[in-house]
């Protein structure tokens, strides 16, 4: 705010060089200053109806500072920031995960997982808490304090980075668990947005009052540093439009009634993302068809790929006092829901003018269904995370005199909370969590003892696991191919037997195997990620009829198509699948002989996949054992 050419808010004590230049630019253009909430009169109107607008958590006899306030008031030193950039985190405590068998939570720093004070609203704003409680009771709940969604909200509200790779998804008989976690992170997002907005509004009111009283002295600065470079604070990354539909619909449902008197562009939203509502006639017809015709795909595949499965979407969501505005301009939105693919497309279009500054002030990133994203293109997701929290190239109308110091100092990524949720863990998810999540408040992750899925192999198949050695994770791909060339392929080449399926988990491995088989003039056909439907049909016929000896098959095409391949007599699993159910699905395709064989290659760097399939205890023994061959029947 300005009065008589002078700023009524004192500047922060220190600025980075870039920030100083931006500040000088802002002061010289003082008449154009805005706060990030200054779009409409409706935005600037203070709510005046929420009992906890003082941003504290109030009990009957105590006043405790909320986790939101503790976070924004913490002043990170340069020494701490430098340490976080290269820190190797140590997980010092653990607690059982009551809702997941053989699972526990481990974390850094001090353990914060304890019973919350029921009188504190669990850190939620009063109106959000009341509305969520009503929604919970309406759905049949009777013990909110002990509920899974309340517990996971408290985990999110700690503002620590979270890696949960044991979340049972809605499409895999986990609708309740998935919905509970979704409700928790959506309420956390709403709570963060509403608290941020209320803080800005209250400070606006104080500055306006100060101006109206005609006072010329500068207001104390620290209390009024309440903004980032741009308005968007929450980024939710999802793989499919159908999942985005589910998330945004629930976000609207969880918003209190007085904050959604109007939802703008809802018709356009359903047109773009589809509606899950099914008419009674359609439901009856679907029920008849289900009884008369056996589905060709497993139930989890049908559930996941129901609806709009396109992976190119991005939508801004803005909250005003009484309205939810869908399709808001990204710079004026509070929440951005997007797919990594669409963001990468935006990056490409913005390359000339560098217009991705709307990601500069993201404070909470939620990556849901990370396992599905990993079967799209994980490098896109990594690129998106790397673009977050950079100092912007333009001012975008922000009042620099009210930007928090940790933005100006380039420390925003140390305040950003990242929540990664998936059905399973893989090395890419671990790498993202270990190297790109540097939240000063610490980390929490789930760890599980797996029982394995070998009992789900129906036929009497000799499953021979062969371990190969690799000196480092960087050498594992070359070591795997070398082992295959020298130990496995010669047996295939010298055999007259056909019906050999060669399964590869990644497209990179698929390409290397394809090139090697070509160099050996091998008789083979392909079912790869980019094989067109005509070639797929022809390859399946050739393989079944014995016109091609080897079929090269990938996990990604199995994920999207779930083919039942006929004619397999010898299965070679070049690399273990990430999804444990794919293992027994593919092994159960073996047919036609009393001497069915399955060969599996693995190394010590395949521990995550191996333990999901053979069990955690068995996997540890197989990796550490002096012998390198293991047989399961």
Per-position DSSP letters for 417-447, written without gaps between them: EEEEE-SS--HHHHHHHHHS---TT-EEEEE
Closest listed residue to residue 365, CA positions, set 405, 421, 409, 403: 421
Q: Phi and psi for 21 in degrees, rounded to 5? A: -60, -45
C-alpha span between 81 and 626 (Å, rounded): 44
Q: pLDDT, tens digit, for every residue of 49-74?
A: 444 444 444 333 334 578 998 998 89
- CB distance 231 to 397 below 8 Å: no
Three-state DSSP state, 38: coil
Phi-psi region for residue 419, left (φ > 0), alpha (ψ -120 to 50) or beta? beta
At 25 the pLDDT is 38
- CB distance 19 to 360 below 8 Å: no
At 63 the pLDDT is 40
- CB distance 540 to 527 below 8 Å: yes
Which pair of structure tokens corresponds to residue 88? 């190797």
* pLDDT surpasses 80 at 31: no
* pLDDT surpasses 50 at 279: no
* pLDDT surpasses 60 at 425: yes
**pLDDT confidence bin for 396, thresholds 50/70/90:** confident
- CB distance 13 to 404 below 8 Å: no
At 57 the pLDDT is 42
Give the domains, in start order, of the chain with CATH numbers.
Answer: 95-109+125-213+223-277+298-448 (3.40.50.300), 454-632 (3.40.50.300)
Cα distances from 146 to residues 33, 121, 153, 253, 526, in angstroms, run 47, 14, 12, 22, 51
At 394 the pLDDT is 84
At 29 the pLDDT is 35
Alpha-carbon dihedral sign for residues 102, 105, 110, 111: negative
C-alpha span between 411 and 422 (Å, rounded): 28
Cα distances from 206 to residues 202, 212, 227, 496, 533, in angstroms, run 6, 10, 16, 85, 65
- CB distance 321 to 262 below 8 Å: no
Top pLDDT among 458 and 599 is at: 599
**pLDDT confidence bin for 353, thresholds 50/70/90:** low
Q: How far is CA 379 from the centre of its chain?
A: 13
* Beta-strand relationship, 629-632 and 462-467: antiparallel
Three-state DSSP state, 495: coil
Average pLDDT of the chain, as a whole number:
85
* pLDDT surpasses 50 at 36: no
**What average pLDDT does range 335-363 have in this prediction?**
87
C-alpha span between 479 and 485 (Å, rounded): 10
At 48 the pLDDT is 41
- CB distance 240 to 310 below 8 Å: yes
* pLDDT surpasses 90 at 181: yes
Residue with tokens 């002989």: 593
At 460 the pLDDT is 81
C-alpha span between 604 and 583 (Å, rounded): 19
Q: What is the pTM of this model?
A: 0.89
Three-state DSSP state, 289: helix
Angle between helices 175-212 and 241-254 (to 10 degrees): 60
- CB distance 106 to 162 below 8 Å: no
**pLDDT confidence bin for 184, thresholds 50/70/90:** very high
Q: How far is CA 248 from the centre of its chain?
A: 15
* pLDDT surpasses 70 at 104: yes
C-alpha span between 332 and 318 (Å, rounded): 7
**What average pLDDT does range 342-351 have in this prediction?**
85
At 2 the pLDDT is 40
Task: Look at the chain and count its residues.
Answer: 633
Top pLDDT among 494 and 279 is at: 494
- CB distance 179 to 170 below 8 Å: yes
Three-state DSSP state, 381: helix
Top pLDDT among 355 and 550 is at: 550
| SS3 per residue for 154-166 | HHHHCCCEEEECC
C-alpha span between 158 and 441 (Å, rounded): 8
Tell me the chain's radius of gyration from C-alpha atoms. 28
For residue 423, the tally of other CB atoms under 10 A from its CB is: 23
* pLDDT surpasses 90 at 571: yes
Three-state DSSP state, 463: strand
C-alpha span between 69 and 251 (Å, rounded): 23
At 293 the pLDDT is 63
Q: How far is CA 152 from the centre of its chain?
A: 15
At 382 the pLDDT is 97
DSSP letters for 199-214: HHHHHHHHHHHHHHTT
C-alpha span between 400 and 30 (Å, rounded): 10
**What average pLDDT does range 546-559 have in this prediction?**
94
* pLDDT surpasses 90 at 17: no
At 592 the pLDDT is 67
Give the chain's end-to-end CA distance (angstroms, integer): 75
What percent of the chain stands above pLDDT 90? 66
C-alpha span between 562 and 542 (Å, rounded): 19
* pLDDT surpasses 50 at 209: yes
**pLDDT confidence bin for 167, thresholds 50/70/90:** very high
Least confident of 33-37, 133-137, 281-285, 389-393: 33-37
Closest listed residue to residue 392, CA positions, set 227, 221, 235, 237: 227
**What average pLDDT does range 17-43 have in this prediction?**
40
Contacts of residue 538, Cβ cutoff 8 Å, sequence gap at least 6: 525
Q: pLDDT, tens digit, for every residue of 287-304?
A: 555 555 667 889 999 999
* Beta-strand relationship, 417-421 and 161-164: parallel
C-alpha span between 225 and 296 (Å, rounded): 58
Beta bridge partners of 95: 105
At 245 the pLDDT is 97
**What average pLDDT does range 401-408 have in this prediction?**
91
Q: pLDDT, tens digit, for every residue of 487-534?
A: 999 988 878 888 899 999 999 999 999 999 999 999 999 998 888 899
Alpha-carbon dihedral sign for residues 384, 389, 393, 398: positive
State the DSSP H helix or E strand holding residue 335, giving kind and residue range, or none if neither.
strand 335-338
At 47 the pLDDT is 42
**pLDDT confidence bin for 557, thresholds 50/70/90:** very high
């Amino acid at each position: 705010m300005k009065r008589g050419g002078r700023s009524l808010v004192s500047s922060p004590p220190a600025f980075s060089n870039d920030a100083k230049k931006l500040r000088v630019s802002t002061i010289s253009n003082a008449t154009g200053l805005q706060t990030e909430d200054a779009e409409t009169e409706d935005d600037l109107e203070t709510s005046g109806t929420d009992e906890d607008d003082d941003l504290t958590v109030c009990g009957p006899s105590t006043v405790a500072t909320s986790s939101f306030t503790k976070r924004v008031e913490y002043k990170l030193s340069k020494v701490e920031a430098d340490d976080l950039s290269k820190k190797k985190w140590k997980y010092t405590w653990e607690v059982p995960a009551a809702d997941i068998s053989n699972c526990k939570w481990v974390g850094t720093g001090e353990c914060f997982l304890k019973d919350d004070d029921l009188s504190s609203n669990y850190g939620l704003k009063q109106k959000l808490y009341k509305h969520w409680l009503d929604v919970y009771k309406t759905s049949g709940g009777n013990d909110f304090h002990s509920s899974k969604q309340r517990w996971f909200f408290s985990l999110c509200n700690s503002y620590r980075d979270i890696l949960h790779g044991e979340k049972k998804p809605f499409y895999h008989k986990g609708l309740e668990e998935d919905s509970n976690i979704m409700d928790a992170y959506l309420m956390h997002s709403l709570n963060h947005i509403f608290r941020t907005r209320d803080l800005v509004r209250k400070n606006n009111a104080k500055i306006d009052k100060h101006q109206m009283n005609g006072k010329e002295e500068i207001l104390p600065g620290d209390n009024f540093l309440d903004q980032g470079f741009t308005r968007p604070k929450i980024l939710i990354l999802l793989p499919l439009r159908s999942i985005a539909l589910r998330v945004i619909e629930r976000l609207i449902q969880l918003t209190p009634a007085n904050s959604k008197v109007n939802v703008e562009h809802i018709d356009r939203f359903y047109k773009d993302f589809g509606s899950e509502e099914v008419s009674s006639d359609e439901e009856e017809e679907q029920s008849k068809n289900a009884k008369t015709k056996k589905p060709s795909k497993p139930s989890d595949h049908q559930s996941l790929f129901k609806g709009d499965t396109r992976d190119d979407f991005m939508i801004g969501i803005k909250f005003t006092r009484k309205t939810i505005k869908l399709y808001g301009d990204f710079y004026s939105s509070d929440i951005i829901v997007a797919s990594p693919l669409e963001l990468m497309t935006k990056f490409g279009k913005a390359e000339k003018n560098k217009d991705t500054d709307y990601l500069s002030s993201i404070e909470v990133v939620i990556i849901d269904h990370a396992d599905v994203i990993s079967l799209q293109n994980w490098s896109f997701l990594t690129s998106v995370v790397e673009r977050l929290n950079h100092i912007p190239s333009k001012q975008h109308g922000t009042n620099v005199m009210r930007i928090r110091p940790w933005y100006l100092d380039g420390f925003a990524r140390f305040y950003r909370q990242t929540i990664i949720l998936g059905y399973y863990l893989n090395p890419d998810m671990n790498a993202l969590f270990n190297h790109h999540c540097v939240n000063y408040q610490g980390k929490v992750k789930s760890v599980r003892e797996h029982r394995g899925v070998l009992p789900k192999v129906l036929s009497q198949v000799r499953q021979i696991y062969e371990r190969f050695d690799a000196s480092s994770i960087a050498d594992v791909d070359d070591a795997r191919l070398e082992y295959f060339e020298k130990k496995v392929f010669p047996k295939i080449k010298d055999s007259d037997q056909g019906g050999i399926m060669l399964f590869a988990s990644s497209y990179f491995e698929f390409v290397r195997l394809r090139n090697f088989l070509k160099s050996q003039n091998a008789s083979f056909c392909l079912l790869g990620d980019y094989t067109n439907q005509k070639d797929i049909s022809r390859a399946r016929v050739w393989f079944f009829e014995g016109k091609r000896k080897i079929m090269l098959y990938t996990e990604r095409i199995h994920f999207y198509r779930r083919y039942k391949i006929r004619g397999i007599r010898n299965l070679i699993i070049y690399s273990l699948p990430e999804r444990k159910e794919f293992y027994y699905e593919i092994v159960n395709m073996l047919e036609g002989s009393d001497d069915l064989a399955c060969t599996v290659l693995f190394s010590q760097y395949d521990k995550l996949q191996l333990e999901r399939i053979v069990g955690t205890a068995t996997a540890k023994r197989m990796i550490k054992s002096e012998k390198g061959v293991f047989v399961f029947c």
